[in-house]
Structure 1
Amino acid sequence: MAMGLFRVCLVVVTAIINHPLLFPRENATVPENEEEIIRKMQEHQEKLQLEQLRLEEEVSRLVAEKEALHQAEEGQQPPEAHTAWDLWSTLCMIAFLIIEIWRQDHQDGPFPECLGGDEDDLCGMGSTPLRGLPLPNKAILDHFYEHCIRSATGDATRTREFVEGFVDDLLEALRSISNRDTALETEDFIGVGSMYENWHVERPLLCHLFVPFIPPEPYSFHPELWCSDLSVPLSRQGYGQIKVTLAGGDPLGCICGKTKLGEDMLCLLHGKNSGVQPGAGANDEMEDLLCSRESSHLDAMQVMKWFQVGLTRAWHRIAHKYEFDLAFGQLDTPGSLRIKFRSGKFMPFILTPVIQCNDSDLYFVPQLPKESCRVTPASSTDWLLSFAVYERHFLRMTAKALPEGACHLSCLQIASFLLSKQSRLTGPSGLSNYHLKTALMHLLLCRRAADWKANQLDVRLQELFCFLERSLQEKKLHHFFVGNRKVPETLGLPEAVRRAEPINLFRPFVLQRTLYRSTVDSFYEMLRNAPTLISEYSLHVPSDRASPPPKAVAL
């Protein structure tokens, strides 16, 4: 009797271990569509029915054994063969249970050790991609990196120096033609992005510079963050508004009627026609506003218009000193400029007017380049909160603690290279370089410094793709700074940002199923193409990496 009960317990435990609802496999394949989900549910239903039949048969057999045992107690001896069979079946059941436990542990794979409580769930993933897509080994990756990436970024320093020198001259000209009583005052630029974090890969090399500006006296800016207020809709988290007031907090006034504005110059609050030329229509006034009268909030699009007008006039003032032309570049990228040399070569860069958030290194930017995986701001008075300066500080601070020749930026460069090639092949997806950098920073925070040695390049690159894979499965990639209390306090991040609710950068995937499906397909195709692509580029490095010049609008 005891032996029979023991066998029943083994059957039940085995069924529980195999039940996917209680022990879901982390590496379950993403269903292709709803029909695939229904088919797998039907298969699971059939398995449960078969398991139920097995249990019913086992119960019936146990009832028969109980009757046989009862007869044995009355003097009838059961056959010795039956006793031997019971022992053999029990041993087989135990072996089956052990094999099942080992199989599931083996499929789950090793889990990397993490050094942070809140980051454990971010790093607890297998070391093999979901669909078993192999990546090149370390030797091939090292050869590829040395010949195709390091050599392509060798002139980054000279590019930065040239662009910075020109921008200094351009901004100085902008200050000289600006009316200090009515125009925004520009400060020194700040270099951000991949060129200043030393992981830019693609040609042409692109410098991105923030140009902070402040209002003229007696006005002041009062930023309003939307990353910590629970009443703010999810679609507007990470944005904010900038209220314009007088220095003493008094209601807005305007001094443009007291000072003559220069040609093509716009007042901070009103355009050149507002309050200056009597008889101007109300519609004309509203079109020229930099700040909405009704809300007293700065309009991002009007600020960009002011900035572009100012840059045009500044360039005309210094154009005679240079032997090249300057034009606006991509129209969907605010502040995109392009230097065109007489030889036909060009050099793009981006100047973005920004507003500093209080005394921190946070900055409000009018709008980033259009990306499919980004929620569009609801109003032109919504400014995106940028952590670009903090990202640069974090990567530099982390690099000091890592071993010499650490592979963290190499991983990011290779991943960025593969993503850009895949985008050219199949078109842009919802995955961007910013998502790659966010994933890397999460891993840097939870990995030990010794794990980033140069000889760990292949392992860390595979782990980076595993992290992105899991994030895509869960449609969840948390912003690295917002709500992340594991970020070192020495970075100086505002406490309101650290204690805010985390922002999910993959939230658009929840709302846009088509975008999500195409992004997942593109991601796995990128992994499938990676070995061939890396091998091809390792054997033959293209002599001309420059992209075709974008359409431009002359200044």
Structure 2
Amino acid sequence: MQAGIFKVCLVVITAIVNHPLLFPNNGSTVPEEVIAQKLKEREENLKLQQLELEQLLSHSETTQEDETNADSKTTEDGSLWDFWSVMSMIIFLMIEVWRQDFLDSNNSHEPPKEEDDLAFIGSSCHGAPFPSKAKLAIFHDQYIRTTTNDVARTKEFVEGFADDLLEALRSVCNRDTDMEVEDSICIGSMYENWRVNKPLICDLIVPFAPPEPYHFRCQPPIAPNQQNYGEIHVRGPDDESGCVCDKKKLGEDMLCLLHNPNNKKKVIKDVNLLCAKNSNHLATDQVMKWFQRSITKAWGRISHKYEFELTFSHLDSPGALRVKFKSGKVISFNISPVVQYEDSDLYFISHFPNNNGSEEASSSIYWNLSFAVYERRFLKEFAKSLPDSSCHLSCLQIMTFLHSKQSHLTGPSGLTSYHLKTVLLHLLLTRACYDWCNVMLEERLRDMFKHLEKCLLEKKLQHFMIGNPKLPNSVNIPEHFRLVEPLNLFRSFVLNRDLYQKTLSMFYEMLKNASVVINEYSFHLPGGTPNKNSFHLPGGTANKNSFHLPGGTSIKNSH
């Protein structure tokens, strides 16, 4: 009897384990005819097992007096056998019904991932229609250069007004309790001379520091997936770190006069250190609130000098400002508070004013890294080794223009202008200098598209400054960032499949429409070319060196 039950259980377990649904081979589906045939074979095997068990039970009767008990046992075992046979069939039927529901739900909710990947394999930059060299030259000379005529005049106004605003900010702040603001630093596409899309927005960063005796200590990222941001600790005079000169081993007879413990300043309790709650980490949201309040106070002190409105264009960015004149003309610019990393030109920034391809930090204590000063310096220094009238910035301008127009048609994607700039920076180190002469505009523009396509298909675009072994020593970035592992700017495509598919589709649409867009803008150019030597604002005119604003106020360029 026990041996019979064991055999029945063994049959059921074997059937379940060998079922094609529970343990399929390579995720393949089994036809219904094969499943039905397998079920019939299982049923026949079960009947044979039943006959063998009945014969085994019949031969087990040894004595006459146990004959009655044996008959009753046989009947009971037969009923048990019938019960297990029915249960086996029910299990098979339940598995089959579950399999059908599972397959139907997968077919209706999961997209065919392999087919999505194969959809782009046939696409390539090699066979895509591309504007001719003559069309590219006409487009750049008559459209892009005409558009960028406003750049110099816009920069001059923004720099002068920003200096005036920051000076007013210092005057309204208490030097003993408020953050100390330094002079602004110009960064971004406007000052790298490749921005073409309107509105023309200037980006400036403003380093700030806490009042003495407090100071910031920046903690660079350690984990490979956190290389684009770090933490900032606020240190006070009572911290265990003590004198910063201790690390230099001055000797027993040497005394640090700068950090003499007897000359410690009295700690003021009213200082707002802008830290996160219950921590000594500088918080991005606290800095944003402080900076917006300070800008508002500073504007209130000098607003009587100007006849235009100053407002915040984005409340989720610390210093996204918008100047609107009475004539309706608008000038936008960004002033972002930053913290300097040691004595380098690397800065920790709370919020990127524009989307530059870096992932935003998930917590308020994490600060994004900005290599904008290094990137601007690299482009400026590298341009000295290129031929006169080189085409490297022209390629970036044209590609950025095409990307902007395509984004307006298909919507935003995971591809940004910072990615396009990174592609150009990598190509500058791989191509010979004479390859960037002006007559090679078409070839170099096609190279940028090919390199970007390769990076998209591989889902890998390395950061130009972080972990780049080809980076020239003249860039002089901190050693920590030169030796770390490279940072993949396309990491989000690996994690987000939908974003990747959308971005890849947008890229090939941009490539397909490139010739049509350039031809259209080459024949429909904006009318009227402004004078390069003057910038006329509402209520007055100005030459290269000054801006006469409404009401007779003049702002001179101090940069």
TM over 0.5: yes
Query: Which residue of 195, 218, 229 corresponds with 1:239?
Result: 229
Aligned equivalent of 1:210: 205
Structure 2 stretches lacking a partner, 5+ long: 1-110, 243-264, 530-559
Query: Which residue of 392, 400, 409 corresponds with 1:408?
Result: 392
Aligned equivalent of 2:501: 517
Query: Which residue of 173, 176, 180 corresponds with 1:185?
Result: 180
Deviation at 1:377, TM superposition (A): 1.3
Deviation at 1:205, TM superposition (A): 1.2
Are the aligned partners of 1:364 and 1:386 in contact in 2 as well (CA < 8 Å)?
yes
Deviation at 1:425, TM superposition (A): 1.1
Provide the TM-score with structure 2 as the length reference. Answer: 0.67
Displacement over 2 Å in runs of 4+:
32-40, 128-131, 247-257, 292-295, 330-334, 369-376, 542-545
What code does the residue aligned with 2:501 have?
R
Structure 1 stretches lacking a partner, 5+ long: 1-31, 41-106, 108-127, 260-266, 270-289, 546-555
Deviation at 1:131, TM superposition (A): 6.1
Query: Which residue of 257, 277, 282 corresponds with 1:298?
Result: 282
Mapped partners of 1:244, 1:254: distance in 2: 17
Mapped partners of 1:527, 1:328: distance in 2: 36
Deviation at 1:485, TM superposition (A): 2.1
DSSP-derived class of the 2:384 partner: helix
Aligned equivalent of 2:144: 149
| Alignment CA distance shift 1:254-1:354 (3 Å) | farther
Mapped partners of 2:198, 2:116: distance in 1: 42
Deviation at 1:129, TM superposition (A): 3.9
Are the aligned partners of 2:334 and 2:353 in contact in 1 as well (CA < 8 Å)?
no
Q: Which string of whole-angstrom CA distances, capped at 9 and with x for unpartnered residues, describes residues 134-168 of structure 1?
A: 21011100000011101110121111111111111
Query: Which residue of 95, 113, 118 corresponds with 1:34?
Result: 113
Deviation at 1:238, TM superposition (A): 1.1
Query: Which residue of 251, 268, 284 corresponds with 2:272?
Result: 268
Aligned equivalent of 2:299: 315
Mapped partners of 1:188, 1:220: distance in 2: 18
Superposed, 1:465-484 pairs within 5 Å as 465-484=449-468
Aligned equivalent of 1:444: 428
What code does the residue aligned with 2:176 have?
D
Q: Which string of whole-angstrom CA distances, capped at 9 and with x for unpartnered residues, describes residues 5-48 of structure 1?
A: xxxxxxxxxxxxxxxxxxxxxxxxxxx952527999xxxxxxxx
| Alignment CA distance shift 1:351-1:373 (3 Å) | closer
Mapped partners of 1:316, 1:514: distance in 2: 47
DSSP-derived class of the 1:199 partner: coil
| Alignment CA distance shift 1:222-1:524 (3 Å) | same
For these two proteins, the number of residue pairs brought into alignment is 395
Query: Which residue of 352, 358, 377 corresponds with 2:336?
Result: 352
Aligned equivalent of 1:430: 414
Superposed, 1:221-240 pairs within 5 Å as 221-226=216-221, 229=222, 232=223, 234=225, 236-240=226-230
The reply to whether residue 535 of structure 1 matches residue 519 of structure 2 is yes
Aligned equivalent of 2:491: 507
What code does the residue aligned with 1:490 have?
S
Aligned equivalent of 1:166: 161
Q: Which string of whole-angstrom CA distances, capped at 9 and with x for unpartnered residues, describes residues 517-552 of structure 1?
A: 00000000001111010000000024599xxxxxxx
Mapped partners of 2:151, 2:200: distance in 1: 7
Aligned equivalent of 2:350: 366
Provide the TM-score with structure 1 as the length reference. Answer: 0.68
What code does the residue aligned with 1:163 have?
V
Mapped partners of 1:33, 1:352: distance in 2: 44
| Alignment CA distance shift 1:451-1:248 (3 Å) | farther
Aligned equivalent of 2:88: none
What code does the residue aligned with 2:231 have?
Q
Mapped partners of 1:429, 1:38: distance in 2: 18
The higher radius of gyration belongs to 2
Are the aligned partners of 1:353 and 1:366 in contact in 2 as well (CA < 8 Å)?
yes
| Alignment CA distance shift 1:400-1:210 (3 Å) | same
| Alignment CA distance shift 1:202-1:255 (3 Å) | same
What code does the residue aligned with 2:489 have?
L
| Alignment CA distance shift 1:501-1:544 (3 Å) | farther
Are the aligned partners of 1:206 and 1:348 in contact in 2 as well (CA < 8 Å)?
yes
Deviation at 1:171, TM superposition (A): 0.3
What code does the residue aligned with 2:272 have?
L
DSSP-derived class of the 2:190 partner: helix
Are the aligned partners of 1:182 and 1:255 in contact in 2 as well (CA < 8 Å)?
no
| Alignment CA distance shift 1:217-1:441 (3 Å) | same
| Alignment CA distance shift 1:529-1:178 (3 Å) | same
Are the aligned partners of 2:291 and 2:318 in contact in 1 as well (CA < 8 Å)?
no
Mapped partners of 1:256, 1:522: distance in 2: 56
What code does the residue aligned with 1:443 have?
L
More deviation, 364-373/149-158: 364-373
Are the aligned partners of 1:333 and 1:370 in contact in 2 as well (CA < 8 Å)?
no
Aligned equivalent of 2:554: none
Are the aligned partners of 1:478 and 1:502 in contact in 2 as well (CA < 8 Å)?
yes
Aligned equivalent of 1:21: none
Query: Which residue of 454, 458, 465 corresponds with 2:442?
Result: 458
